[in-house]
Structure 1
């Protein structure tokens, strides 16, 4: 297939692109390599993809509509995976405009390009953040998600609504994936695992929010990518129950929503213990209250994704964190 991957220099996007390239797909990566975090890491991820003959790359922002349309016209993608976005819950408190530009305007440009070029399937990144103030666990795609607690979450909820509109009006098959805390080699420096590792090795204290008592459904990158590929290969179809929306996650339109996580929440304190074991060092912990915009716990109900595409996350944190530490030390020459 010809697959356009936005955010191809990102953590998930670069790993996904490599898997698609290895199986023989033609991949066009699109990324703006912005400075939200160290662009050198983004370039290093991209450098792993450039040797593939079936890979090409365009540097552009989603909100640049002419550039997006030119990429679509030159490549002619059959399917699209939209992973480019302004990420981060806490940064959305400081710079909400960046989230509107990339996650709303940019996503609209992707939808329009897919609509007018008859793309077979659009898979896009949503987020577990959409569950916001929900307290019923595990989080289910059948749950109401009308109470976001960050601008980032609000834009991801908006993406789901926009996608349904295009599926309904124009018959564009769309599948949204609500990612739960993704970690692993080549991960983002603004995420806890990367931050903790850097500070522990430097002998600096780590900031442990909510006194470490919140839990996250930490999901290893390889498990995430496998789920994305399986979803991409199964084009969203209308629900058989037909006259109206069958549930929040399905529709009379070719539209689907899934959680994609590990289905095994881990308390942050346990996550830190595993990291300490892998590094052979103890962390100095600075215990702090829960940050604005954060949620106390996440836990993915992945039954729908398992049922529909055979998704089976298989990597425990003891294995995944060890692989991250091995990569980190190698990448930084430790």
Structure 2
């Protein structure tokens, strides 16, 4: 039997992985205990999504387990053993603001939880491909020292610096920078996954995401930029822009496009490899531009305000350069552009608010 195991399976990338892999494997094992509700409140609970995927995919089996528990995770791995062919580890505490409230919780979920997953994979199914969803926050605030210029609705890279014309690549340093505590815990996990590939020869891959988005995102104020923005556009709830004149830029990758990256890696893994994963020049938006697009799609005027204080460690401009991944996997490309993704979010969120 061929089995896929997904952590954070009721979250955005986890549930997309379940849907994608359910057609390619005999069984998909999901691990998710809805810590997102603990992090961000009832409105961010993923329980609705767990119910949805449990009903939609007959070969899906759900486990309400904590990734920090060696005993609980080890028991699941022991049950399926070498039948597990791929591990997609998406479970995390994802907010740099929240991490400062409970540093111990943040670190144990992100770093210790990843170690538990790696060790369980090494012990019970060492030939499995291990996919880790890292983050662009491992680069800390180094991107803020790039040569940026202010335009009417966004910050943009100075055109005289051609190296960054396609965005930020994997050569950017993760040292000598302010990461936020969230960024630090993800660095620890990121390096662990690389090391299990390079030291133990496991088939591990690190994907440093920009803004990951899609219709099944349970967006909250502290995490899930586009989904929460769209939710506020639909409901009329107030939205606050934090700093940088609302011109801060993010690239956005649809959850399906990201999971398709995982699938390409699975078919030809390169142990310990690191890839930036985002919308790149194909799909990116500033805060102001995102608000205008939400207003266009919903037909509603958004209720937003501006706070002059930017979030600690927040990026002014971040666009992922995917040149390396596309060179390694030339048949991969984006499928969903920004507006298509946001229309999908509007359709989905409208049924839930």
Flag whether TM exceeds 0.5 (same fold): yes
Aligned equivalents of 1:69, 1:81: Cα separation in 2: 16
Q: Which moved more, 1:88-97 or 1:58-67?
A: 88-97
Would you say the 8 A contact 1:80–1:119 is kept in 2? no
Partner of 1:263: 280
Residue by residue over 1:260-318, the C-alpha shift from the partner in whole angstroms, topping out at 9 and shown as x without a partner, is 11112322111111111111011132112311231111110001111212331132222
Would you say the 8 A contact 2:133–2:207 is kept in 1? yes
- Structure 1 counterpart of 2:341, from 317, 320, 323: 320
The answer to whether residue 50 in structure 2 is matched with residue 42 in structure 1 is no
Where does the alignment leave 5 or more consecutive residues of structure 1 unmatched? 237-253
Partner of 1:241: none
- Structure 2 counterpart of 1:287, from 280, 300, 306: 306
Residue by residue over 1:154-206, the C-alpha shift from the partner in whole angstroms, topping out at 9 and shown as x without a partner, is 11111122123222332212100011101221113222223333333343432
Partner of 1:168: 198
- Structure 2 counterpart of 1:307, from 303, 310, 327: 327
The answer to whether residue 219 in structure 2 is matched with residue 219 in structure 1 is no
Partner of 1:249: none
Q: Deviation of residue 2 (structure 1)? A: 1.2
Partner of 1:143: 172
Q: Deviation of residue 148 (structure 1)? A: 4.1
CA spacing shift, 1:287–1:39, aligned 2, 3 Å: closer
Aligned equivalents of 1:205, 1:312: Cα separation in 2: 36
CA spacing shift, 1:260–1:321, aligned 2, 3 Å: same
Where does the alignment leave 5 or more consecutive residues of structure 2 unmatched? 147-163
Would you say the 8 A contact 1:185–1:328 is kept in 2? yes
Partner of 2:98: 91
Would you say the 8 A contact 2:32–2:63 is kept in 1? yes
Aligned equivalents of 1:20, 1:203: Cα separation in 2: 36
TM-score (norm 2): 0.84
Alignment RMSD: 1.8
Aligned equivalents of 2:232, 2:254: Cα separation in 1: 22
Aligned equivalents of 1:171, 1:203: Cα separation in 2: 51
Q: Which moved more, 1:192-201 or 1:208-217?
A: 192-201
Aligned equivalents of 2:320, 2:26: Cα separation in 1: 30
Q: Secondary structure at the match of 1:50?
A: helix
Residue by residue over 1:88-144, the C-alpha shift from the partner in whole angstroms, topping out at 9 and shown as x without a partner, is 111012111111111111111111111112232111110011121223442111221
Structure 1 runs (4+) greater than 4 angstroms displaced = none
Aligned equivalents of 1:8, 1:202: Cα separation in 2: 27
TM-score (norm 1): 0.89
Aligned equivalents of 1:45, 1:176: Cα separation in 2: 25
Q: Which moved more, 1:307-316 or 1:291-300?
A: 307-316
Would you say the 8 A contact 2:22–2:59 is kept in 1? yes
Aligned equivalents of 2:307, 2:54: Cα separation in 1: 42
Partner of 1:250: none
Aligned equivalents of 1:226, 1:308: Cα separation in 2: 14
Q: Deviation of residue 25 (structure 1)? A: 4.0
Matches for 1:142-221 after TM superposition, within 5 Å: 142-146=171-175, 147-190=177-220, 191-210=224-243, 211-221=245-255
Residue by residue over 1:6-44, the C-alpha shift from the partner in whole angstroms, topping out at 9 and shown as x without a partner, is 110111101111111023442110111222243884122
Aligned equivalents of 1:40, 1:288: Cα separation in 2: 23
Aligned equivalents of 1:152, 1:145: Cα separation in 2: 14
Q: Secondary structure at the match of 2:134?
A: strand
